[in-house]
Every structure is written in structure tokens, then in C-alpha cells.
Structure 1
Amino acid sequence: MNIIYSAAPGATGSAPSATTTATGSGWSFIILLAMLFAMFYFLIILPQRRREKQFKEMVSNMKRGDTVITVGGIVGKVIDIKKDTIKIKTSMTTELEVTKRAIATVLKEKEESKEQQEEKDKE
């Protein structure tokens, strides 16, 4: 019966003090929080910055005559480049003006000519 009442309020006994457990758990919480932030940074923030850097480089190296693919799947050849938009020609008479953020892939003019030459060589 003594075991049941040993943790009762006002009971005298050797109970663990709150100050010894609070300091240990405080440091472990800070370390856990730092590890969580490091994982978040290396798994989410750093790859996103790399993708943005690659995109900016791709768009800045784009020039007239390059073939582009938009995020909507439209394929066209670059006719004119402005500050925030580009004008692409999708067929013989259709011209579209899209924002630079809508470009998914830039296919260089040289790469296409190499592919066409390889196809001609195979025939």
C-alpha cells in the first residue's frame, strides 16, 4: 500500500527534481531543432536554388532561332526576345508571345541541326 501513495501530493520521498530534467531536455530540443533545420535546408532550399539558377542561365542564354518548349507543351522557334516576354513562331503563320517563366526547355539550334544531319546520314 505504500507504493500507491508514494507519488501523492504532499508525500515525502525522493521524487526527481524538475530542474535536472528540464536542462537536459532543453539542450536536446535545441539540437533536434538544429538538425531539423539542416535537413530542411539541404533537402528543400538548396535544390530549389540550384533549379532557379539553372533556369535563369537557360533563359539568359536563349537567342533568336532557338527552339523552345513551354510548360503547356507548345513547341516553337524564338523570333523576338523582350525584357519579360519572348515571341515564338509555332507554325507558318502563328506567333505567340509568352512570358519567360513559361519556358520549360530550350533546345539549341545547333543541337537540332546535328540531329537532322545524323538522321540524313542513317538514310
Structure 2
Amino acid sequence: MPEIIYAAAPGASNGTTTTATGGGWGSLLFMLIFFIAIFYFMIILPQRRREKQFQQMISQMKRGDTVVTIGGIVGKVIDIKKDTVKIKTANSTELEITKRAISTVIKERSQENQEG
């Protein structure tokens, strides 16, 4: 009776030789590659696309365009520097913000009328 219990235990030997299969590492490697591919296509690739769209939006921005910041401030672009943009938010209020703080660029109305 104790032989039956030992035979069911993992790694137990009842005197006969058994051959081990090498499928454990192969399936583990396959799963690892699969999860890395899923991670790349679902997280990294979309982030790169958003970054490219943002850089294109910022590079096409010019004086007179209306911008919305990530904080919700709306203003008209009056000056563009290397890393910052100066916007006019009210009659006499001017703010200098970083380009990374811009959420949306709304084109100047006269350009939209000419294009459309």
C-alpha cells in the first residue's frame, strides 16, 4: 500500500527508469516572448504614436493659434521659443508655458476659412 502513495508523489521512483521531457523550458520561453510582444504592441507602440502626433502638432503651431493647456487654460500664441510658448489669456495677461504643457492646438480662424 505505501508503494502506491510513493508512486503518486512527484519525483518518486519505483525502480524503473523514466525519461524527462524538455518541454518545460520551451513553453516558458514561448510564454515570455508572447507576453513581451503583447506588452510592446499594446503599450509601447501606441505611446510612440501619441508622441509623434504631439511633436507634429507642436511643430506646426505658430503665432495666432489658440492653445489649450493641460490645466485647461485657453490662450492665443504670441511668441514661440525653443522650449516655451508665450500665450495671451486675457486683455493684458500673458503666460509663458512649456511646450509639454500644451494639450491641444486650435488653428487660427482665418486659416480654416482659407483651407475650407
Q: Does 1:3 align with 2:4?
A: yes
Quick check: 1:69–1:75 contact (8 Å CA) kept in 2? yes
Deviations 1:17-36 (A, max 9, x none): 4x42xx20111111111110
**2:107 alignment partner in structure 1:** 108
Q: What is the CA distance between 1:3 and its match in structure 2?
A: 1.1
In structure 2, stretches of 5+ residues that fail to align are none
Return the TM-score normalized by structure 1.
Answer: 0.80
**Could you tell me how far apart the structure 2 residues matched to 1:40 and 1:11 are?**
42
- How many residues align? The count is 111
Letter in 2 for 1:3: I
Q: State the shift of 1:6 in Å.
A: 3.7
CA distance in 2, matches of 1:109, 1:32: 51
TM-score, normalization: structure 2? 0.84
- Provide the residue aligned with 2:58 in structure 1: 59
How has the CA–CA distance of structure 1 residues 16 and 81 changed in structure 2, closer, same or farther, with 3 Å as cutoff?
same
Gaps of 5+ in 1: 115-123
Cα distance change, pair 6–47 in 1 and its aligned pair in 2 (3 A):
closer
Post-superposition offset of 1:10: 8.1
Q: Which residue of 2 aligns with 1:94?
A: 93
